[in-house]
């Protein structure tokens, strides 16, 4: 069985920095990778719906947090990268937008079988999560990785912080082309976003 594929964006940034022990921020300026990475698991899912833009912003508000952790990513039918842990719609905390329970093919429906637009009919936060009674109940949508990075970078900048990112993928050869693309396509779709975000910064790399 193939081991889960984990892409640490910190590693990607070090590759971009060409073997430097620090990450390039501006010309002739470097940002040191933290000696210890403090991360809020899935964007602090104990307090906010998991892997959400709101959860990442909440994580940024904690002074000690250095790294935004996304466990993990999935690919939609139209090849969009979304930040969502399971490869299926988990009825434990996913509902329809009106808060009603999943039914029929949507109950544990594979993310890979839905376009990003179709996924917007579901909600991650209205139901809450029985495993995390302190989690805030608030309407929350599955987010695109690209949107999440944009919003996190903007929010972090407003707080005078620079965040690192830890993005994970899970790949199983028995689920190739069923629940997700094959590894090369899977990783290429994510890396394209990472590199695009870095290249679009006017004065700095997006630090991964």
All structural domains of the chain, each given as residue ranges with its CATH number in brackets, are 6-199 (3.20.20.190)
Q: Closest by alpha carbon to 16, among 191, 202, 203, 157?
A: 191
pLDDT, tens digit (0-9, with 9 covering 90-100), for 59-97: 999 999 999 999 889 999 999 999 999 999 999 999 999
3-state secondary structure the chain: CCCCCEECHHHHHHHHCCCCCEEEEECCEEEECCCCCCEEHHHCCCCCCCCCHHHHHHHHHCCCCCEEEEEEEEECCCCCEEECCCCECCCCCCEECCCCECCHHHCCCEHHHCCHHHHCCEECCCCCCCCCCCCCCCCCCCEEHHHHHHHHHHHHHHCCCCCEEEEEECCCHHHECCCECCHHHHHHHHHHHHHHHHHCCCCCCCCC
* Max avg pLDDT among 30-34, 49-53, 199-203: 49-53
**Comparing 23 with 97, which gets the higher pLDDT?**
97
């Amino acid at each position: 069985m193939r081991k889960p594929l984990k892409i640490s964006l910190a590693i990607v940034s070090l590759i971009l920095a060409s073997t430097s022990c620090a990450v390039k921020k501006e010309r002739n300026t470097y940002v040191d990778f933290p000696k210890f990475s403090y991360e809020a698991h899935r964007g602090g899912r104990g307090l906010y719906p998991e892997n959400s833009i709101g959860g990442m912003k909440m994580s940024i508000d904690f002074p000690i947090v250095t790294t935004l952790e996304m466990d993990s990513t999935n690919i939609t039918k139209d090849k969009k990268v979304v930040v969502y842990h399971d490869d299926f719609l988990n009825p434990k905390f996913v509902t329809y937008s009106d808060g009603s329970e999943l039914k029929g093919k949507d109950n544990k429906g594979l993310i890979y079988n839905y376009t990003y637009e179709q996924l917007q009919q579901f909600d991650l936060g209205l139901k809450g999560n029985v495993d995390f009674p302190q989690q805030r109940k608030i309407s929350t949508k599955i987010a695109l990785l690209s949107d999440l990075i944009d919003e996190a970078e903007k929010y972090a900048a407003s707080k005078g912080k620079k965040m690192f990112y830890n993005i994970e993928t899970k790949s199983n050869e028995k689920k190739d082309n069923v629940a997700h693309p094959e590894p090369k396509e899977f990783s290429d779709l994510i890396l394209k976003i990472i590199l695009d975000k870095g290249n679009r910064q006017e004065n700095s790399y997006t630090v991964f």
